[in-house]
Chains A and B, each alone.
Chain A
Amino acid sequence: MAQHSAHDSHGGHDQGAHGSLKSYLTGFVLSLVLTVIPLLVVLNDWLEGTPAMVVLLGSAVLQFVVQLLFFMHLREEGKPRYNLMTLLLGIFILVLIVGGSIWIMTYNQVAH
Chain B
Amino acid sequence: MAHMGAHAHSHDEHHDLESMRLMGFWIFLITDCILFGTLFATYIVLHGNTAGGPTASELFEMPGVIAETFILLTSSFTSGLAVLSMNQGNRKGLIGWLVVTALLGASFIALELTEFVKLVHEGATISTSGFLSGFYVLVGTHGLHVSLGLVWMTALMIQLGRRGITNVTRRKVNVISLYWHFLDVVWIFVFTIVYLMGVM
Contacts and interface: CB of A to CB of B under 8 A. Distances in A.
B1 interface: no
Given A35-B70, A83-B23, A112-B49, A90 B192 contact: no
B185 A64 contact: yes
A15 B22 contact: yes
Dominant secondary structure at the B interface:
helix
Interface residues of B, number: 60
Contacts, number: 139
Interface in B14-43: 14-20, 22-23, 26-27, 30-31, 33-34, 37-38, 40-42
A12 B62 CA distance: 44
Interface of A: 2-4, 9, 11-21, 24, 27-28, 31-32, 35, 38-39, 42-43, 48, 52-53, 56-57, 59-60, 63-64, 67, 71-72, 82-83, 86-87, 89-91, 93-94, 97-98, 101-102, 105, 109, 111-112
Interface of B: 12-20, 22-23, 26-27, 30-31, 33-34, 37-38, 40-42, 44-45, 48-49, 51, 62, 66, 69-70, 73-74, 76-77, 80-81, 83-84, 87, 130, 167, 170-171, 174, 177-178, 181-182, 184-185, 188-189, 191-193, 196-197, 199-200
Given A60-B188, A71-B177, A93-B34, 14 more contacts: A2-B14, A12-B19, A15-B15, A15-B19, A31-B73, A56-B196, A60-B192, A63-B188, A71-B76, A86-B26, A89-B30, A97-B34, A101-B45, A109-B49
